Structure 1
Amino acid sequence: MADQTTQPQVLLVTRYPVKSMGGETLTSVEVGPTGLVGDREWAVYAADGKLASGKHSRRFRRMDPVFELVAAQRAADTVVTLPDGSEVTLGRDGADATVSRHFGQPVTVRQEGEVPHQDAATFSLVGSATLAELGRHEGDGRPLDPRHLRANLVVTTTEPYAEESWIGRVVTIGTVRLRVTEAIERCRMVGVAQVDLAERPGMLKAISDHHDLNAGIYASVLQPGTITVGDSVHVD
């Protein structure tokens, strides 16, 4: 699995300006020391200080209304689109009140501070063959929509889970250098309904049964730079 018959390339770049909300597809993105610039910069905080997510844990609170929202960056602003098509610009007067009405409870939307918004790492990636394999095991046979995995990059691969052979290695994409750190263990979020995505109730079980709950990889940034769709992926 370590070798590809063709050079992997970047197929899709996605940034999620607000944790757990829908994100935005980009043709090119700047990568800083802590990941895609603007990625998971904001998060929804419940009254108890936990982050809105699709699961319960020490840091997270399950709050499924977050999946009905989509966030995008417009110049210096982060804008959230609500289900009725209206928009709210984060950080402005009344923004928290608007988002709270959607959640049906008091929440605040804050930029990252002492509490990290990322999970185990700041950069994530999945191979196209892994998406195809997951779709073969659950659903109608089409590749799994990568938004269910919320990876920053989708790269072309020819074998399922080939990207896991990069763990511990340095990967260069565009002008960015990454160190791949670990496989990503998945949770119920892979199956929840989102904006323009139907529920995939059997997806988590499929990942568990066929690949020990792992799909995709985490990486840390060694050298910031720019990644563009079509860039080749070089594994050292």
Structure 2
Amino acid sequence: MAPRLVSLRIHPVKSFHAQAVESGTVEPWGLAGDRRWMLVQPDGEVLTQREDPRLARFQAAVEEDGALVVSHPDAAPLRVPAPPAGALVPVSIFRDPFSAPAVEDPAVGAWFGKLLDQDVRLVHLDDPHRRPRPATTSFADQYPFLLTTTASLDALNVLVAQDHPDVAAAQGPVPMERFRPNLVVDEPTAWAETGWRRIRIGEVEFEVVQQCGRCVMTTVDQESGVFTGQQPLRTLRKRRRFGKEAAFGVHLVPLAPYGTVRVGDELTVLEAGPLPQPD
């Protein structure tokens, strides 16, 4: 039986809690609604769960008129209209600079500041072409899509249990949410995705660009918003490497013509071969 898409997720605000959806429109820069908003620090640099894991406790959704609605267990919901395209401010993602429209309402910054105990600003990517990159993308770290597979997660949890049985027994299996994928596929063979070069999911084709280097965000509990220790990152660094980085999942770039992907769509491998390694 061919592998199928079993989960589809967007992250309306970068580093906030994931939102599960049944279908999504594929755009050149990612799924519609994925990572088009983010919080930045006073110097314009993005704020992520790497610096503040409490961001995982924020939920967000985008309404039909483009407004953002943010919720948090300790506050009343916040509704933010999309800012006008002309109000640009300098921002950066890992010191990669560009400009994006900022929300000017001081009440918005105050709402986040009270929950996070720091000064932040909310910005919106109205046009992904504002961010010059080899592959046009949203506020995602590198590429438009991240795909993971269920068999690889199962294999990783076996490795964690082998290397650190006490930790595995105390914390239980690492959940897929730790890796924040857009696409989760029930591929039966562990690490098979590292040998794909071009795939089709439903009606859309994708180029598989590279493995995804992983960071400390994989150690954040996505429900409580706290760091949980060194797993699964420690095991990935030892057992699954992409150059000098720990690796899990693969980055994708969609190929025109674009379309819609849906939970239950079949995945077909159109071209296989080893993925490139970093220089």
Work out whether the TM-score is over 0.5. yes
* Counterpart in the other structure of 1:7: 2
Q: Aligned match of 1:98 in 111, 127, 141?
A: 111
| Aligned positions of 1:41-120 closer than 5 A | 41-55=36-50, 62-75=51-64, 76-84=66-74, 86-91=76-81, 93=105, 94-112=107-125, 114-115=130-131, 117-120=139-142
Q: Aligned match of 2:153 in 102, 108, 131?
A: 131
* Counterpart in the other structure of 1:150: 180
Whether contact under 8 Å (1:16, 1:39) holds in the other structure is yes
TM-score, normalisation: structure 2: 0.74
Kindly indicate whether residue 200 of structure 2 is the aligned counterpart of residue 161 of structure 1: no
Kindly indicate whether residue 204 of structure 2 is the aligned counterpart of residue 176 of structure 1: yes
RMSD between superposed Cα atoms in Å = 2.0
CA shift, 1:71, in A, is 1.6
* Counterpart in the other structure of 1:222: 255
Runs of 4+ deviating beyond 6 Å: none
Count of aligned residue pairs for this structure pair: 223
Q: Aligned match of 2:35 in 37, 40, 48?
A: 40
CA shift, 1:211, in A, is 0.8
Q: What SS does the corresponding residue of 1:48 show, helix, strand or coil?
A: coil
Give the counterpart letter for 2:219 in structure 1.
Answer: G
Give the counterpart letter for 2:179 in structure 1.
Answer: L
Give the counterpart letter for 1:127 in structure 2.
Answer: T
Closer, same or farther: CA 157–196 of 1 in aligned 2, 3 Å: farther
Long gaps (5+) in structure 1: 1-5, 56-61
Work out the CA distance in 2 between the residues paired with 1:179 and 1:133: 24
Work out the CA distance in 2 between the residues paired with 1:96 and 1:23: 22
Q: What is the CA deviation profile of residues 142-182 of structure 1, one whole-angstrom value per residue up to 9, with x for unaligned ones? A: 6532210001010011122111111xx22111221110000
Work out the CA distance in 2 between the residues paired with 1:97 and 1:137: 44
Q: What is the CA deviation profile of residues 178-202 of structure 1, one whole-angstrom value per residue up to 9, with x for unaligned ones? A: 1000000100000013225774422
Closer, same or farther: CA 197–107 of 1 in aligned 2, 3 Å: closer
Give the counterpart letter for 1:180 in structure 2.
Answer: V
Work out the CA distance in 2 between the residues paired with 1:90 and 1:221: 30
CA shift, 1:215, in A, is 0.4
Work out the CA distance in 2 between the residues paired with 1:95 and 1:124: 30
Find the structure with the greater CA-based Rg: 2
* Counterpart in the other structure of 1:233: 267
CA shift, 1:86, in A, is 2.4
Whether contact under 8 Å (2:56, 2:225) holds in the other structure is no
Work out the CA distance in 2 between the residues paired with 1:200 and 1:211: 20
Long gaps (5+) in structure 2: 83-104, 132-137, 161-167, 271-279
* Counterpart in the other structure of 2:217: 189
Q: What is the CA deviation profile of residues 40-91 of structure 1, one whole-angstrom value per residue up to 9, with x for unaligned ones? A: 0000010010101133xxxxxx233322212223333322111325211234
**Higher deviation after alignment, 132-141 or 143-152:** 132-141
Kindly indicate whether residue 240 of structure 2 is the aligned counterpart of residue 211 of structure 1: yes
Q: What is the CA deviation profile of residues 96-131 of structure 1, one whole-angstrom value per residue up to 9, with x for unaligned ones? A: 221121111211111126456211211010011011
